[in-house]
Structure 1
Amino acid sequence: MTQRLAVPPIYSPFQPAIHARYAAIDKQTAEWADKFRIGSEELRAKLVTQEIGTFAARILPDGQEEAIGIMADFVLWLFGVDDGYCEEGSLGTDPGGLVAVLSRLTRIAQNPEAPMMVDDPLAMGLRDLRRRISVHATPVQTARWVDALREYFMSVVWEASHRRLGTVPDLNDYTLMRLYDGATSVVPPMMEFAYGYELPPNERDDLRVRALAEMAYFLITWDNDIFSYHKESRAGQYYLNVLRVLEHHDNLTPEEALPTVIAQRDRVTCLFLRVREQLFTTAGADLRQYVDSLAAFIRASQDWGVSSHRYTTPDDPANLPAAFHDTPSDSSTAPLPIPCIAWWWDLLPG
């Protein structure tokens, strides 16, 4: 029986924005997917209708157009891996086999000239992305992008192990995995070169900056879990989602779990605003741009999540909100009881 969860408007203090060339970028990404034959024909036909170029144009509303195109093509490529390998393919339940393939793809990301997987569409697409990134990114940004891609690959294998066994992780392990398996950490190096700067290590690795980035990853993936629940739960196959985690471990219905999940993401949103305000008292222009880009990434994911056919599923419509709230359901300054992220709240005085 299809579950149709009614999602209320959620809190978002971030302003929407989009690059003027979003329609052209979306068209170019569809052409790129066809050129490199990303995914099966059936999967590709779905992906090119999901406004992935528009999503990238929301993430980087004032970025260089070519960099936005790279971002869009990369996001579509990620869905080729996630949907194709992990949800449609046998590797989704074969962690060992998945490690072997993803290790080869990591090598291609490190060195696109490596003569490996020469006839594989995803490998060919990754080669193209890596070469284009090198034109715009510094060596440090490129290396960070590869490292973050490796983090994503590791989390995909972790998820495959649960898929094979049919198990559901607890909330702490799931939260930790979601900081990586949404591939959100791959985006910041691309944000930098899209705006033509490189954040120095002492700023990028500052605890407050690291925490703001992780909060953004948390919010993006928690919102994605909320907006994608209908799509995932109706598919008749194994899926991981924070709502399912609470259903499984706390014996809640989806309707009972939803307010808890919304309260969690609202509390983190409020913390993001407080830490950003504290940081901005001394931040320079590049650091402000970096944090503003994280906020744009959050809002882009929200706007895309409630509008893309990927989640609205027009053939069996999801009950998603058409607007956002301007007040949180939970503004408490107490840390969430999730050990792997509780340190974020230590950054504020008192």
Structure 2
Amino acid sequence: MSVTITPATLLEPTWSVVGRTEDGRDRKYLYLPDTMAKWPWPRKINPYYEEVAAESNAWLRCFTLFTPESQYAYETCDFGRIASLAYPDALRTGVDLMNVFFVVDEYTDVEPAHGVRDIIEIVIDALQNPDKPRPEGEIMLGEVTRQFWARGRTTATPEAAKHFVESFTDYLNAVIVQADDRDNDTIHTIDSYFETRRENVGTRPSYVPGELHLSIPDEAFYHPVIKELEHLTTDLIILDNDIASYNKEQATGDDRYNILTITMHQFNTDFDSAMKWVANFHNEVEMRFLNALNRVPSWGPEVDKQVAVYIEHLANWPRCNDCWNFESGRYFGSKGLEYQKTRLVPMLPKRPRNPNLRRENVEVLLVDRIEEMMSGSRAIRA
């Protein structure tokens, strides 16, 4: 699906404000649009969240993938929560998958393209050969992936297992393309960004734990309307993720791969106008999703029942993602629930990552520590 944009769609800026702190200093705040205010699907969470997340985190900790400081920061991101918001069934597979996703993300974000390619080849081999022992001295992501899928596939139907291997492999290959873009300092257009981001954001394999118990035939699963619903769900997730992550990314110098930065660059405009365009486009995508629901065909009672379960799972994902953005510590530290209510987020100071850190020594940044660099009160005076 192509994204149609014209500069005329950029409205007057209203999405950032300057407030005064109690010690008399000006501080810039971002105002986050409540993009999910009218989404018909409410928040829900798996009641076994804490127990299963603890099991998965303990499993991941055994691999010593991070320094102690980064491990602590990693766990504040609460990846078990996003799985618990997304998956009413197959929770352990979902939590493990979220952990695998974000470890791959952290490791590959700090590597040049050739290093990313080496990591991805190992992960794909482990995914496709979960019964094969991993070589001595190999990066631990191979064994992490092998154990994850050796356990996860036992709960999957043949159809769902095929969908996972297919979509996760596509995602991993897309991560290499993203690394090439990073090495070349590429700034995408909005259209080209969505084209690449739909794969490397990892939503397609993330949808699979919601269908592990389903046997949806190819003629239904790969139908153009079902694929359209998947793409529209992904676009909503991309937009909300980029809105939530922008502050942290601009602070760490990692915001070139964000729809807000791309919009500012493409239209030679400011942050406020870019945020207005993104909020408006989010509304358009929501309407396209709701309209597409009316075009889902029938494949007979049994298949239709399974497709309905899958569509309900897709529809839950934008809500799940939005809730996790604020409920975890990934983007807003310990202040997420406060910012979810006020929609006002203090602009973080610049704190670039150490470019010399690699793999096991990667630095997972704690948002609260970045905020500590901001001296004085953050309260806006009336």
Q: Which has the higher contact order (CA 8 A, sep 6+)?
A: 2
RMSD of aligned residue pairs (Cα, Å) = 2.4
Alignment check: 8 A CA contact 2:159 2:216 kept: no
Query: Residue 117 and residue 82 in structure 1: after superposition, are their counterparts in 2 closer, same or farther (change >3 A)?
Result: farther
Q: Which residue of 2 aligns with 1:68?
A: 91
Name stretches of at least 5 consecutive residues in structure 2 with no aligned partner. Answer: 1-25, 344-382
Superposition pairs of residues 175-324 of structure 1, within 5 angstroms: 175-193=194-212, 196-237=213-254, 239-279=256-296, 284-314=304-334, 320-322=339-341
Moved beyond 6 Å, runs of 4+? 280-283
3-state SS, counterpart of residue 41 of structure 2 = coil
Distance in 1 (CA, whole Å) between partners of 2:144 and 2:170 is 19
**Partner of residue 108 from structure 1, selected from 114, 126, 146:** 126
Q: Which residue of 1 aligns with 2:116?
A: 98
Alignment check: 8 A CA contact 1:43 1:84 kept: no
Q: Which residue of 1 aligns with 2:172?
A: 153
1:3 is displaced (CA, Å) by 6.4
What's the CA shift string for 1:56-75, capped at 9, x where partnerless?
111013x1xxx211211211
Q: Which residue of 2 aligns with 1:338?
A: none
3-state SS, counterpart of residue 169 of structure 1 = coil
For 2:312, the aligned partner's letter is D
Q: Which residue of 2 aligns with 1:34?
A: 61
What's the CA shift string for 1:19-39, capped at 9, x where partnerless?
111121222232122123334
The size of the alignment, in residue pairs, is: 312
Alignment check: 8 A CA contact 1:220 1:298 kept: yes
Query: Residue 151 and residue 29 in structure 1: after superposition, are their counterparts in 2 closer, same or farther (change >3 A)?
Result: same
TM-score under structure 2 length normalisation: 0.76
For 2:332, the aligned partner's letter is T
230-239 vs 250-259, greater mean Cα deviation: 230-239
2:144 is the alignment partner of 1:121: no
Q: Which residue of 1 aligns with 2:35?
A: 10
Alignment check: 8 A CA contact 2:159 2:217 kept: no
For 1:286, the aligned partner's letter is Q
What's the CA shift string for 1:177-201, capped at 9, x where partnerless?
11111110102322111xx222111
2:191 is the alignment partner of 1:168: no
Q: Which residue of 1 aligns with 2:355?
A: none
Name stretches of at least 5 consecutive residues in structure 1 with no aligned partner. Answer: 325-350
* Percent of pairs with identical residues: 22
For 2:321, the aligned partner's letter is S
For 1:166, the aligned partner's letter is D
What's the CA shift string for 1:199-224, capped at 9, x where partnerless?
11111011111100111111111110
TM-score under structure 1 length normalisation: 0.82
**Partner of residue 82 from structure 1, selected from 92, 96, 105:** 105
More helix by share: 1
**Partner of residue 47 from structure 1, selected from 74, 99, 119:** 74
131-140 vs 276-285, greater mean Cα deviation: 276-285
Distance in 1 (CA, whole Å) between partners of 2:59 and 2:77 is 14
3-state SS, counterpart of residue 145 of structure 2 = helix
Query: Residue 2 and residue 143 in structure 1: after superposition, are their counterparts in 2 closer, same or farther (change >3 A)?
Result: farther
1:48 is displaced (CA, Å) by 1.4
